[in-house]
Amino acid sequence: MTDPQRRIRVLVAKPGLDGHDRGAKVIASSFRDAGFEVIYTGLHQTPEMIVSAAVQEDVDVVAMSVLSGAHMTLFPRVRVLLDEAGADHVLVTGGGIIPESDMEALEALGIGRLFGPGTRTTDAIAYVKDWIAHQRTQ
C-alpha cells in the first residue's frame, strides 16, 4: 500500500504529433496548485516514452491530453505498457476531443474518467483525489 501521506504524483503527457498543449499546461498548473507533484513531459511523446517516465518518476497518475483523434490507440497502448511494466496501479486518465461512445469504450479497457473541452479543472482534481483516496484505503 502507498504511503497515505505522500503527495499525489501526476505525469501530464502530450502524446503524438499534435502540438496544441495549452490544455495540458492548464491542467498541470491546476494540479500543482492543488498540491500534486506534477511532471510535464512536453510535446510529441510516444506511449513508450510516457510509460518510461511514469515508471521512473513513480507516479500515481498518467494524465494525457489527446486532441489528434488517436485516443483509441494512445490510451490503451499506455495502459498495456504500464501493466507490462508492473505499474498496473497507475491511473490513466486525461482529456481531449473524445466522443462519449469512445470514452465508454476506453473505460471498458481500464482507462479512468476522461474529460472533454470546457471541463472545470476542479472536476479533474476532485476525480483524481477521490480515486487516489480509494486506492490508498484498499
Q: Cβ atoms within 10 A of the Cβ of 109, count? A: 12
> Would you say residue 56 has pLDDT above 90?
yes
> Would you say residue 111 has pLDDT above 50?
yes
What are the grid coordinates assigned to 68, written together?
Answer: 489528434
Give the gyration radius of the chain's Cα atoms. Answer: 14
Place of cell 498540491: 35
Phi, psi of 77 (to 5 degrees): -65, -45
Domain over 9-136 is classified CATH 3.40.50.300 = no
Predicted pLDDT at 71: 97
pTM exceeds cut of 0.85: yes
Q: What is the mean pLDDT of residues 118-122?
A: 96
CB-CB contact of 83 with 114 (8 Å): no
> Burial, 73: exposed, middle or buried (Cβ in 10 Å; 0-12, 13-18, 19+)?
middle
> Would you say residue 1 has pLDDT above 70?
no
How is 68-94 classified by DSSP, letter by letter?
SS-HHHHHHHHHHHHHHTT-TTSEEEE
Q: Cα 72 vs. chain centroid, distance in angstroms? A: 14
Predicted pLDDT at 18: 85
At residue 2 the predicted structure's pLDDT band, cuts being 50, 70 and 90, is: low
Taking only the tens place, the pLDDT of each residue in 64-109 is: 999 999 999 999 999 999 999 999 999 999 999 999 999 999 999 9
Taking only the tens place, the pLDDT of each residue in 15-47 is: 988 888 999 999 999 999 999 999 999 999 999
